[in-house]
């Protein structure tokens, strides 16, 4: 099922070329090309391999075989810090004992050596995500939504072409999810980055995604533009997920 | 969620336990105070140069021991946390637990075998042509031994703190490309910083009240702590006034440390749990691997060599001859009876205290007296720490002095002192286990109407069996290895294994001592294995 998906018009965004990996008793086998500059939803049941897919792209897992290409660059052998990606998880994106300024500053310089221009960028990024003046605040004093906004601000200053999101809104109230999705959409429109969003929420797929994947048992069972994905009727698991 | 009868029983148990403990400690302190009051010389002795020198040495060695233990434990804990998967990792973590259950005397013997005048290190140095061998007796030896026993403790507590760091932090720092120094500054150190005061306070407390190690490795009057000075005043100089003033001074010192400790959260030792898989990309770099490998190898050698030396020397001794001696069996029987008695009593007291506190906490609006009672029960373990075993023994020694003969009561007193000695540790195992068990079962049991014997048999015993057995084995090991209480009372009438070992050592029958050390160590090891048998050790399932 996987494989021959149309390449995005800007050339390769994300490509997994015959990537194989075995973790414990589970085999993973990813082979796909995903469009650049789009928001791509990654769906699938728990344990199907969504997070493993993200870990492979981020460099936390290395494939036993195959190549991984990000923004046209072969990153298979690169350390996570050398890959053109930013990450946002469901929780614990920020070091809870460090203020937002330091948390975001580490996104610019991992040694925390900041120029005055860098400092301005941090404040600007905070303002951009609606947290102007929050520099000195500690993560535990923020709401869950505000913490995720700060994580977005760090992704913003890092300015990498690929943004990987692992259920970033799963811990938030439904009403908050909508405004966070809107923020993600705006940031995406501004930067034109490629966004890979792992989600359990069909509404999020409809709301945000240009393209969607369905991962099942370590493989990509379906990869299609979102209209086509939502209209798909011949895979029972996908129907279950869409709840229709 | 308790029936009125259960609540009454729990409260009565608490009252009896507290009364017993207060009476046992109170009588000893009372004896010390009356003795001090009766002779004005013990008060003036508080300020004489001799006592002040002992006091300052006690504090100095405790300070240096704490500093070294904590500073050296840190790289070891960091290395263990960074390297998630390598052959033997779980064994290194287990090795860290050994000194906690190991009789101090055995550790001292092992250290002598490695670092002593004719030990491995000095032999090697001499072979290399170095003239000045390391001199173990005195401050150096005390520090070495305290680091040997407390570095693993600090390391375990730090490792637990490091393992609590959210797994995402390592991914974020990997993704951001934070170098090792940044990871330490922004992730590891903030996690450790909160723990270090509590850990340091605990170790300082242990070192300031250390008896056996100083007795064996201390170098005469120049390197003596309060505890050992008390013992020597009573047993050799027969100067009870000085013993009393030293004992009172010791209480003041421990009170000061406990007050300091109360300012910081107590270090938790909940075991090293395997939660979410942790990916430490920083540990995969070659430089990190080399450094961590070197640190861990040194730590394993430092902790393992003395233990191996004890096993080797013991195996060379004539074990069959030892096992054929009546005195060995008498000492073993005495030791085991006292240990079993003290262990059972300690666990019962801990259960009674925990249940009484829970019964009070379960009430919506406990009365003022009830709250006060609960707080007093909670402070019991601190109260016990306030009066260290040798001080307690001194008080009872003085109390029984007019009668002249402690022979009949000696085993009872040693049992009592050993009970109290292990109580703080036992409470720390029992209380959280009971609390977790209650959360799991209390509502369901109450709604089903399970109470009394049925609940005990079907719900409580199966649920609490493992932590209780672990607490019992730990208390027994502690009591089996104790020399402090026995040293004061141990006459011909009362010979425990450590005392037998110590006297063989004193009469230069080293081979016998080596053999006894091995046997005692094996008994403690067997106890620990029995106590932790059913306990699931969380295996590392990382890097998945």
Structure tokens at B476: 């027994």
Best mutation target among A59, A81, A168, A196 (most B Cβ atoms within 10 Å) is A81
Q: Is residue A182 part of a domain?
A: yes
Alpha-carbon distance of B513 to B506, in angstroms, equals 9
Gap between the Cα atoms of A232 and B209, Å rounded: 74
Q: Indicate the residue of A60, A91, A93 with minimum beta-carbon distance to B281.
A: A60
Per CB-CB distance under 8 Å, the chain A contacts of B179 are 110-111
Q: Quick: pLDDT tens for B193-215.
A: 988 988 898 899 889 988 889 98
Show the domain range for A41. Answer: 1-84+168-244
Residues of B in contact with A86 (CB under 8 A): 175
For residues A39 and A62, membership in a common domain is answered with yes
Q: Domain check: are A106 and A204 in the same one? A: no
pLDDT digit string (tens) for A36-88?
A: 999 999 999 888 999 899 999 998 888 999 999 998 889 998 888 889 999 99
Structural domain contains residue A231:
yes
CATH code: domain of residue A186: 3.40.50.300
Please name the member of A80, A93, A98 whose beta carbon is closest to the beta carbon of B174: A80
| Token output for B317 | 């001794």
User: Which region among B13-22, B116-125, B136-145, B324-333 has the lowest average model confidence (pLDDT)?
Assistant: B116-125
Assess A26–B contact: CB distance below 8 Å, yes or no.
no
> What does DSSP say about strands A162-166 and A194-198: parallel, antiparallel, or unpaired?
parallel
Residue A33 lies in a domain: yes
The count of residues in chain A is 244
Which residues 259-318 on chain B approach chain A with CB closer than 8 angstroms?
279, 281
Q: Residues B57-115: pLDDT tens digits? A: 999 999 999 999 999 999 999 999 999 888 888 888 888 888 877 888 899 889 988 98
B415 and B348 Cβ atoms separated by less than 8 Å: no
Q: What is the DSSP letter of B294?
A: H
pLDDT tens digits for range B342-398 = 999 999 999 999 988 888 887 777 788 888 888 888 888 777 888 888 888 888 888
Are residue A65 and residue A114 in the same domain, yes or no?
Answer: no
Q: Which helix (H) or strand (E) holds B428?
A: helix B410-448
- CA dist A60 and B175 (Å) reads 9
Contact B98, B521 (CB under 8 A): no
Residue where one domain finishes, among candidates A135, A159, A183: A159
Q: In terms of domains, do A76 and A184 share one?
A: yes
Residues in B closer than 8 angstroms to A107, CB to CB, are 176
Residues of A numbered 116-175 whose beta carbons fall under 8 angstroms of chain B's beta carbons: which are they?
158
Rounded Cα gap, residues B101 and B381, in angstroms: 19
Please tell me whether residues A150 and A191 are part of one structural domain. no
Give the full edge-to-edge strand order of the sheet including A73-74. A73-74, A65-70, A12-23, A26-35, A219-225, A211-216, A39-44, A194-198, A162-166, A85-88
Predicted ipTM > 0.85: no
Tokens found for residue A209: 């995604």
* Distance from C-alpha of A188 to C-alpha of A186, rounded to nearest angstrom: 5
* CB count in 10 Å sphere of residue A205: 23
pLDDT reading at B441 higher than 90 = no
User: DSSP code of A17?
Assistant: E
- List the 354-413 stretch of B: residues with Cβ below 8 A of A: none
A102 chain-B contacts, CB cut-off 8 A:
186
- The domain total for chain A is 2
Across chain A, mean pLDDT equals 89
The nearest CA of chain A is from the CA of B192 a distance in Å of 12
Which residues in chain B have their CB less than 8 angstroms from residue A81's CB? 174-178
A51 vs A40: CA distance, rounded Å:
14
**Cβ–Cβ below 8 Å for A106 and B176:** yes
Contact across the interface for B175 and A86, Cβ inside 8 Å: yes
**Do A231 and A178 have their domain in common?**
yes
- Flag whether A89 is in a domain: no
Q: Residue A219 falls within a domain, yes or no?
A: yes
Task: Tell me, yes or no, whether A79 lies in a domain.
Answer: yes
Chain A interface mutation, best of B168, B175, B187, highest count of A Cβ atoms under 10 Å: B175
Residue B296 has pLDDT above 90, yes or no: yes
Pairing state between β A65-70 and A162-166: unpaired
Cross-chain residue pair A95–B172, CB shorter than 8 Å: yes
Which residues touch B457 (CB under 8 Å, ≥6 apart)?
A: none
Query: What is the average pLDDT across B502-528?
Result: 86
User: How much is the average pLDDT of A141-161?
Assistant: 93
pLDDT band at residue B492 using 50, 70 and 90 as cut-offs: low
Check whether residue A40 and residue A70 sit in a common domain.
Answer: yes
Residue A106 in domain: yes
Instruction: Give yes or no: residues A189 and A126 share one domain.
Output: no
The Cα–Cα gap between A35 and A196 comes to: 10
Average pLDDT on B182-191 reads 93
In percent, the amount of chain A with pLDDT more than 90 equals 67
Nearest to B389 by CA among B321, B477, B486, B308: B486
CA distance linking residue A94 with residue B357, whole number of Å: 39
Q: Last residue of a domain, which of A159, A178, A204?
A: A159
Length, in residues, of chain B: 544
CA max distance for chain B? 78
Give chain B positions within 8 Å (CB) of A82: 177
**Which residues neighbour B147 within 8 Å (Cβ) at sequence distance 6 or greater?**
B65, B68, B69, B72
* Domains with residue ranges and CATH for chain B: 43-316 (1.10.3720.10)
Are B176 and A91 in contact (CB < 8 Å)? no
Indicate whether A66 and A180 sit together in one domain.
Answer: yes
pLDDT at B506 over 60: yes
Same domain, A47 and A118: no
Whether residues A25 and A145 fall in one domain: no
Are residues A116 and A6 part of one domain?
Answer: no
Provide the pLDDT for residue B461.
85
Q: Which of A159, A194, A210 is the last residue of a domain?
A: A159
């Amino acid at each position: 099922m996987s494989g021959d998906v149309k390449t995005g018009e800007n050339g390769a965004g994300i490509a997994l070329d015959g990537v194989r990996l075995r973790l414990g008793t589970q085999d993973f086998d990813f082979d796909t090309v995903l469009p650049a500059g789009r928001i791509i939803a990654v769906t699938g049941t728990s344990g199907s391999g969504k997070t493993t897919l993200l870990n492979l792209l981020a460099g936390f897992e290395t494939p036993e075989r195959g190549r991984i290409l990000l923004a046209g660059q072969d990153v298979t052998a690169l350390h996570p810090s050398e890959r053109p990606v930013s990450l946002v998880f469901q929780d614990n994106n920020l070091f809870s004992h460090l203020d937002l300024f330091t948390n975001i500053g580490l996104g610019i310089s991992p040694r925390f050596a900041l120029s005055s221009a860098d400092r301005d960028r941090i404040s600007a990024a905070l303002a951009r995500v609606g947290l102007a003046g929050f520099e000195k605040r500690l993560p535990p004093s923020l709401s869950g939504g505000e913490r995720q906004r700060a994580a977005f601000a760090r992704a913003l200053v890092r300015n990498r072409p690929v943004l990987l999101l692992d259920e970033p809104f799963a811990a938030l109230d439904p009403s908050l999810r909508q405004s966070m999705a809107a923020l993600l959409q705006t940031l995406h429109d501004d930067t034109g980055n490629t966004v890979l969003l792992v989600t359990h929420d069909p509404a999020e797929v409809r709301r945000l995604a240009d393209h969607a994947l369905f991962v099942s048992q370590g493989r990509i069972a379906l990869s299609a533009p979102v209209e086509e994905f939502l209209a798909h009727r011949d895979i029972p698991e996908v129907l279950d997920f869409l709840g229709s | 969620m308790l029936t009125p009868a259960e609540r009454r029983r729990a409260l009565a148990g608490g009252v009896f336990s507290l009364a017993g403990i207060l009476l046992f400690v109170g009588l000893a302190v009372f004896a010390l105070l009356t003795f001090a009051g009766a002779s004005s010389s013990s008060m003036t002795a508080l300020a004489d140069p001799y006592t002040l020198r002992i006091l300052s040495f006690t504090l100095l060695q405790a300070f240096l021991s704490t500093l070294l233990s904590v500073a050296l434990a840190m790289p070891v804990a960091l290395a263990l946390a960074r390297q998630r998967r390598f052959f033997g990792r779980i064994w290194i973590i287990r090795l860290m637990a050994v000194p906690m259950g190991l009789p101090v005397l055995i550790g001292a013997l092992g250290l002598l075998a490695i670092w002593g005048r004719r030990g491995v290190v000095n032999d090697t140095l001499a072979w290399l042509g170095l003239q000045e061998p390391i001199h173990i007796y005195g401050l150096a030896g005390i520090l070495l031994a305290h680091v040997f026993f407390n570095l693993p403790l600090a390391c375990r507590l730090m490792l637990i703190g490091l393992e609590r760091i959210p797994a995402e932090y390592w991914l974020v720092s990997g993704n951001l490309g934070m170098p090792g120094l940044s990871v330490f500054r922004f992730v590891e150190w903030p996690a450790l910083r909160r723990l270090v005061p509590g850990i340091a306070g605990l170790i300082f407390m242990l070192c300031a009240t250390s008896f056996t190690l100083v007795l064996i490795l201390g170098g005469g009057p120049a390197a003596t702590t309060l505890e050992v000075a008390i013992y020597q005043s009573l047993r050799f100089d027969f100067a009870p006034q000085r013993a009393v003033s030293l004992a009172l001074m010791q209480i003041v010192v421990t009170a000061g440390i406990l007050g300091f400790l109360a300012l910081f959260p107590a270090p938790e030792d909940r075991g090293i749990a395997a939660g979410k898989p942790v990916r430490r990309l920083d540990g995969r770099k070659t430089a990190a691997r080399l450094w961590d490998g070197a640190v861990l190898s040194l730590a394993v050698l430092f902790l393992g060599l003395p233990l191996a030396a004890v096993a080797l020397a013991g195996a060379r001794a004539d074990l069959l001859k030892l096992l054929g001696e009546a005195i060995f069996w008498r000492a073993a029987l005495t030791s085991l009876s006292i240990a079993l008695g003290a262990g059972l009593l300690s666990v019962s007291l801990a259960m009674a205290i925990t249940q009484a506190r829970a019964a009070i906490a379960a009430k919506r609006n406990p009365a003022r007296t009830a709250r006060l009672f609960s707080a007093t029960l909670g402070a019991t373990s601190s109260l016990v720490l306030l009066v260290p075993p040798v001080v307690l023994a001194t008080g009872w020694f003085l109390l029984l002095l007019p009668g002249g003969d402690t022979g009949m009561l000696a085993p009872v007193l040693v049992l009592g002192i050993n009970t109290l000695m292990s109580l703080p540790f036992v409470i720390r195992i029992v209380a959280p286990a009971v609390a977790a068990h209650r959360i799991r079962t209390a509502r369901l049991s109450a709604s089903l109407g399970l109470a009394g014997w049925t609940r005990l048999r079907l719900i409580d015993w199966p649920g609490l069996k493992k932590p209780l057995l672990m607490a019992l084995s730990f208390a027994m090991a502690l009591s089996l290895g104790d020399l402090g209480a026995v040293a004061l009372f141990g006459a011909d009438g009362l010979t425990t294994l450590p005392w037998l070992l110590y006297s063989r050592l004193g009469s230069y029958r080293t081979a016998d001592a080596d053999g006894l050390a091995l046997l005692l160590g094996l008994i403690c090891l067997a106890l620990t294995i029995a106590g932790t048998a059913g306990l699931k050790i969380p295996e590392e399932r990382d890097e998945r």
